[in-house]
């Protein structure tokens, strides 16, 4: 249980990273351009830090708004095995 807080923070970041996946390509392009033209990578490092913070905030919002549970429920509805088990056990679908 002592790692629970750390795992929640990791969950927030991983969720945000997955949602903001396309942004890393823009960051890479900016970083390559910045390093080649100005030979200064500090702006790229700063942008990467801001991007990671933004991923964390988006992930926290996504989990707190129960969007993650909704995603999982949609996956369960579309999964044929889950559908059969719900019919067999007579479990209602998510409303």
Q: What is the mean pLDDT of residues 80-84?
A: 84
- DSSP codes, 9-31: HHHHHHHHHHHTTTHHHHHHHHH
Q: What is the DSSP letter of 94?
A: P
Tell me how many degrees the CA angle 74-80-83 measures, rounded to the nearest 5.
70
User: In this predicted model, what pLDDT tens digit does every residue of 66-80 receive, in sequence order?
Assistant: 998 888 888 888 888
Q: What is the mean pLDDT of residues 42-65?
A: 92
User: In this predicted model, what pLDDT tens digit does every residue of 4-32 receive, in sequence order?
Assistant: 999 999 999 999 999 998 888 988 898 88
Q: What percent of the chain has pLDDT over 90?
A: 39
Nearest to 55 by CA among 7, 13, 8: 13
């Amino acid at each position: 249980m002592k790692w629970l807080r750390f795992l929640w923070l990791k969950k927030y970041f991983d969720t945000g990273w997955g949602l903001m996946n396309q942004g890393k390509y823009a960051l890479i392009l900016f970083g390559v351009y910045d390093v080649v033209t100005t030979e200064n990578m500090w702006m790229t490092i700063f942008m990467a830090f801001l991007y990671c913070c933004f991923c964390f905030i988006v992930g926290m919002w996504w989990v707190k708004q129960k969007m993650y549970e909704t995603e999982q429920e949609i996956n369960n509805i579309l999964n044929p095995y889950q559908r059969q088990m719900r019919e067999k056990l007579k479990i209602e679908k998510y409303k």
